[in-house]
Amino acid sequence: MPSSFLSRCARAAGALALLLSATPLPAQLPPLISRDILFGNPERASPKLSPDGQRLAWVAPDKRNVLQVWVKTVGKDDDKMVTADKKRGIRQYFWAEDNKTLLYQQDNDGDENFHVYGVDLASGNVRDYTPFQGVRAEVADVNPDFPDEILVEANIRNRQLMDVHRLSLKTGALTLDTENPGDVAGWGTDAKFQVRAAQAQTPDGGTEIRVRDDVKAPWKSLLKVGPDEILEFEDFSKDGGSAYLKTSIGSDTARLVERNLATGAEKVLAVSPEVDAGGVVIHPKTHVVQAVSFAPGRATWKVLDPSVQADFDAITKLHSGDFGIVNRTSADDAWLVGFTSDRGPVTWYKWDRTAKKGTLLFTAQPKLEGLALAEMKPVAIKSRDGLTLNSYLTLPVGVAPKNLPMVLFVHGGPWGRDSWGYSSYAQWFANRGYAVLQTNFRASTGYGKKFLNAGNKQWGLKMHDDLIDAVDWAIKQGIADPKKVAIMGGSYGGYSALAGVTFTPEKFACSVDIVGPSNLKTLIASIPPYWKPLRATFDVRMGNVDDPKDAELVKNASPLFKADKIVRPLLIGQGANDPRVNVKESEQIVDAIEKNKGSVTYVVYSDEGHGFARPENRIDFNARSEKFLAACLGGRFEPMEGDKIPGSTAVVKVVGK
């Protein structure tokens, strides 16, 4: 552990002794794992091989603890920091195919208006390729056969629409390539690096895949489905004559198919009756589908290309976790592979395809190794109306799983899912003495269209019932103490935390909301302009805030209007610059609680957006959260010195305490 942590513990010995005397600790629990280890910056993370395989890049903190991109020559110790981000840290970067340029994206204090930057590795010069105020830009695609160009999506022409631009890495010239007609949410390119596919959102909330024969040809509809179906474009075949799609047409789960553009004939490449097709590995030059993942609980790979079967078989034996291919060299003689495990840090290997040998590169958090981490166990829970809620249960190490305090940790989206693997939050809660339950409630993705659509217009209704059913399952199993269950989450999970203390005001002992919406009508009114093509999805799945027929539904599903029902302790965390869930979402429910003579603690961070990217802010809020949970549930916590973590921008408002 870092010396700073040890010194803090020494100075806080008196406070800790008082805590121990007030709340007896089970002697069987392992030592506290510091928040710095759990939620601080990784020591090294996100490695990527250069296309020629000569260099390795990764992100790691600088002397100020800000994440930067570093580069070294493979086989040498010439590590060099090549970026100089001032505060937020870099989390998204890419190798350009020219082997000379490193690309990265960065926004301003969490506003998500990312710029695309390029680092010339020879000179060290950094260039902002998209220096437009109020514009969101992102790397859309690279192609090994076009090393001097990249494609960039940006809303320069119209803030509501993401057009495709072609960027010359040599000159920096940014040229409009393909205009968004107004409804396109995503684009696809062919082997010739031409934009030939568009995934559009239809007015009824459905999806249309459009293709064109070349960039001069008109667009034509390939497939068009209603909102009840799953349809996603993945890639074109090498010759451009077929498209790889994920589709649920004619089945419940989404399968991967190859569809002939001329005849419409389809060939099923991979399917599971349990879950939708997940990650798809496609060779960047041959455009052959090599493998598809499926994850009902843990993830497994279905290998489709015999040329990589031996690689997948051997890689599986490197590590006990679940793996994915991060990137590969242009010669395809080396892969960079990442493993996730429930009881250890993310680990990366360089895989030599010729020698069939893996070389350990590093792990994200070496200080986690050897600690008593908890197992994450997939469990299946039945909802009251018979749906299967695939969930993950994490129990504290060293104590009997009987009548424990529990945290229901709810994922965001809601059109996302919880997955097996390392979770700093699950390990944190378990280490503090709590059982942790993560539930894929209806509307979660990955489990077929019936399960997804069962959540339509069920915010605060059956989606919330699923969470209650999961808690009741844990109580019935004897795992959870019914009087000591907390609910916590971010984004939609934050909404669920607010719903928990308003719709079911006495079910939970306390609630922690992170960037959760409180009023669905104002949520939609303040979403980013470039979400325009996605608005129809919200209308179908959440409810149309502008349709009088849905007015009562939307209002009843908004915790704001039941703020007077709150009787349990509530903690709210918010980023001031959040473009998805505006800061007003938190402010208005705090105001309503105050008007109703209730109580809440509200923490806002002036330099954050949708979640807390800076470790100082992340650790600060979690320090407050664990002390809050300890007061509600009786678990352990690591004391925090002073009013806030040094470097944090926390501003705290306490109402009715």
As annotated, the active-site residues are 491, 578, 610
Q: Distance between the two ends of the chain, CA-based, in angstroms?
A: 35
Tokens read off for 516: 């959760």
For the CA atoms of 476, 388, 293, 277, the dihedral, rounded to the nearest 10 degrees, stands at: -160
Q: What's the rounded Cα separation, in Å, for the pair 79 and 72?
A: 5
- Quickly tell me which residue has 């919200």 as its tokens: 538
Q: What's the rounded Cα separation, in Å, for the pair 216 and 450?
A: 39
Give the residue among 564, 584, 592 at the shortest CA–CA distance from 515.
584
Going across the sheet that includes 600-605, the strands are 376-382, 388-394, 435-439, 404-410, 480-490, 510-514, 570-575, 600-605, 650-655
CA-to-CA separations, 296 to 25, 253, 342, 422, in angstroms, rounded: 36, 12, 16, 17
Q: What's the rounded Cα separation, in Å, for the pair 481 and 43?
A: 37
Q: What's the rounded Cα separation, in Å, for the pair 356 and 352?
A: 5
Q: How many CB atoms lie within 10 A of CB 254?
A: 26
Q: What's the rounded Cα separation, in Å, for the pair 296 and 446?
A: 8
Q: What's the rounded Cα separation, in Å, for the pair 325 and 335?
A: 7
Angle between helices 3-11 and 13-22 (to 10 degrees): 60
Going across the sheet that includes 80-81, the strands are 45-49, 55-61, 67-73, 80-81
Give the residue among 442, 436, 431, 498 at the shortest CA–CA distance from 467.
442
Q: Are strands 101-106 and 55-61 parallel, antiparallel or unpaired?
A: unpaired
Tell me the residue type at 309: Q
Q: Largest Cα–Cα distance in the chain?
A: 76
Q: How many residues does the chain have?
A: 657
What SS3 string covers 219-238?
CEEEEEECCCCCEEEEEECC
- Note the helical H segments in 317-417: none
